[in-house]
Chain A
């Protein structure tokens, strides 16, 4: 028999497996009040790391709240929050090393922050100004940073999943002892790219961590209309991959799972699938109104499961945070974010030459001709092109 991975049990009457044949446990370490389950095995975490994780949560809370406000005021065109999923993103990011490569979907700004993306860098991207690393070419929240090993976000869903497999294989070939981590939603896990990416990672032995944020919704589509299997985790098993399901609102559980997954992936050059069970507390994006497809009561149930509050309580119990410090942290970031909005929104737009740069390594003759004609046109009608007129 050529199917080397098939098990050998033979039966003599019909019996089907179904989604419940696979009993997938959920790892949880923190109780809702922030205390630790008594039999729980804690991840490796020290005060400094814990503070950095909490700091990231607070910053992202403030950023999300303020930038959604800025979008409502018309100061930026678009925004997406990660509210309710901070533990999933920060907990996993904190388990990584700097050399590990992050491929995000779009709701993982907290991972980028954890790596050190500055408030100014966030804001410059959102205002599409001349200092934006992405040169004002993509909508707000499409961040990326070579220096921080964080691939620039692309809107088409799922495309980063097989790419993460390629990155991981490259890390293996280079003997870097590093992983790629790929974030995606349970909705994006329906794309063909998901299946292709996981199967390639498993068969080619790529040290990739596939991190599914199962937050219950893809825009208006609830998870039960997205898939019928035992979550996304069951698919990892199907592809022959180590798989774990965690409580995505539990910072320590996510940290523990991702630490173990990373160790396993690096040691064995094999992928791991992590499914973090959480909830998208906010709207899908600033263009969306969730009241059209779900109830406030449902949202409230999840608001009560706030992952940041749970972690905060644990921090308090450790003596690593006080209420006063917490308040001061929020105050500091509120001020910092507001101040930066005022600075970044005044920075001028990228130069018109950036329109044709980076299409290829060098602008082709045809692109150069098009730019020259465009500049002549802008010069003739400067009032119609206020962002670039008079600046070349």
Chain B
């Protein structure tokens, strides 16, 4: 085990796989010599050469299309989109091309080896354009996997699994935790299976579900609720597409209550999908309506960031009112 922050863990995962898989390439804006604006790719160019880790011109559309071509021809591209807010110029290449390569060609071609890494989320005084959580745009796209880690140990295991997965994966990295989240990370190779949720804390009264940077927030809320005698079962979804219905449903059957927290706006957010599914799976077990604590239905603000955020206090309040329904 080694102490690492999330950036180091991601860098470690990239280096491990580049060592094993000489078809793997890492590229994106400022990714080469500089190591990326957050330094997730530091040292990779030096270690693996400028043909395997390099700067691209400033075009997300180009980066994604290029990655599609590489992957369709048997390479393992790991493309960095500098901020998730800037993934939209690449939207067509990702949702129409990466996602549908296999299906539309009758499996004549696929881009299974492709991974997009991109920092997402707020809480960093970035205003809109440096704070968005666009995961729901991608969870509605069949053919893509969507993965979001909560800490360094998870980031390394989930990223290695994403790169090796036989499907294109959009890997959202919670940028506010890049340096803030530090923890023990196993040395060497390991994977966390995609599509499996992680029960982070056992409880009996209510299931509290989140992913990525919001895990910290819901854990804090659960702690506050515990002081009121409320026992929360805390689950990290980890994979949003596909998502682990079974683990969540099992938990809700036990606790009878569910709260979902995410940073993206409420309307059309992934919490709505989870709520609808769990209502169907667990209707007769539910003792209160499924609660959602999400971002407001506004663009991500700057000065009112605190007010906008689905923070621990709002989550704590929602836990209490769900309990008292």
Given known pairs A221-B55, A359-B298, the reply for A352 and B307 (CB within 8 Å) is yes
Q: Give the contacts of A185-224 with B (CB-CB under 8 A).
A: 187-188, 190-193, 218-221
Q: Is A137 an interface residue (CB 8 A)?
A: yes
Total residues of chain B contacting the partner, CB 8 A? 40
Give the residue name and chain of the A residue nearest to B312 (CB).
A384
Q: Are B34's CB and A155's CB within 8 A?
A: no
CB distance from A390 to the nearest CB of B (A): 13
Query: A157 at interface (Cβ–Cβ under 8 A)?
Result: yes
Interface of B is mostly: loop
Selecting from A24-32, A109-117, A335-343, A373-381, the interface stretch reads A373-381
Interface string of B79-104 (1 = CB under 8 A from A): 00000011011000000000000000
B23 close to A (CB within 8 Å): no
Contact: B89 with A192, CB < 8 Å? yes
Q: Are A137 and B128 in contact (CB under 8 A)?
A: yes
Q: Which chain A residues numbered 147 to 194 have a C-beta less than 8 Å away from chain B?
A: 154-158, 187-188, 190-193
Tell me if A309 is interfacial: C-beta within 8 Å of chain B.
no
- Interface membership of chain A positions 116-128, coded 1 if the CB is closer than 8 angstroms to chain B and 0 otherwise: 0000000000001
A293 to B130, CA, bound (A): 23
Cross-chain contact A139 with B88 (CB below 8 angstroms): no
Name A359's closest neighbour in chain B (CB-CB).
B298
Q: A219-B29, A292-B34 are in contact. Are A193 and B89 (CB under 8 A)?
A: yes
Q: How many residues of A contact B (CB 8 A)?
A: 50
Q: Is B57 engaged at the interface, CB distance under 8 Å to the other chain?
A: yes
Mostly, the A contact residues are loop
Q: Which of A318-361 contact B (CB under 8 A)?
A: 349-350, 352, 354-356, 359
Contact of B299 among A137, A187, A292, A366 (CB under 8 A): A137
A370 in the interface, Cβ–Cβ < 8 Å?
yes
The answer on a CB contact under 8 Å between B58 and A366 is no
- What chain B residues lie within 8 Å of A381 (beta carbons)? 313
Q: Is the CB of A190 within 8 A of B313?
A: no
State whether A136 and B304 are in contact (beta carbons under 8 Å apart), knowing that A156-B85, A192-B89, A377-B313 are contacts in the complex.
yes
Residue B195 is within 8 A (CB to CB) of chain A in the complex: no
Whether the Cβ atoms of B57 and A377 lie closer than 8 Å is no
The chain B residue sitting closest to A132, CB to CB, is: B303
> Inside 8 A of A220's CB, which chain B residues have their CB?
30, 33-34, 37, 55
B32 smallest CB distance to A (angstroms): 8
Establish whether residues A355 and B301, one from each chain, have CB atoms under 8 Å apart when the complex forms: yes
Q: Which residues of A contact B288 (CB under 8 A)?
A: none
Determine if A191 and B89 form an interchain contact, defined as CB atoms under 8 angstroms apart: yes
A352: chain B residues within 8 A (beta carbon): 304, 307
Q: Is the C-beta of A226 less than 8 angstroms from some C-beta in chain B?
A: yes
**Closest partner residue, chain B, to A189 (CB atom):** B58
Are B298 and A355 within 8 A (Cβ)? Answer: yes
- In Å, the complex CA distance between A321 and B224 comes to 67
Q: Are A221 and B58 in contact (CB under 8 A)?
A: yes
Does chain B have a CB within 8 A of A227?
yes
Q: Out of A139, A356, A370, A374, name the residue touching B130 (CB < 8 Å).
A: A139
The answer, yes or no, to whether B322 is at the interface (CB within 8 Å) is no
Q: A219-B29, A370-B296 are in contact. Are A156 and B302 (CB under 8 A)?
A: no
Q: B127 to A293, Cβ gap below 8 A? A: no
Asked whether, in the complex, the Cβ of A385 is within 8 Å of the Cβ of B299, the reply is no
Known contacts A137-B303, A190-B58, A192-B89; 20 further A-B pairs (Cβ under 8 A): A77-B125, A78-B125, A138-B128, A155-B130, A156-B85, A158-B89, A218-B58, A221-B34, A221-B55, A225-B32, A226-B57, A352-B307, A355-B301, A359-B298, A366-B267, A367-B298, A374-B296, A377-B313, A381-B313, A387-B307
The chain B residues found within 8 Å of chain A, CB to CB, are 29-30, 32-34, 37, 55, 57-62, 85-86, 88-89, 125-130, 266-267, 296-299, 301-304, 306-308, 311, 313-314, 317
A-B contact pairs, 19 of them (CB 8 A): A136-B303, A137-B127, A139-B126, A154-B129, A157-B58, A187-B58, A191-B59, A220-B55, A226-B57, A226-B58, A227-B57, A292-B34, A356-B296, A366-B267, A370-B297, A374-B296, A380-B317, A381-B313, A388-B307
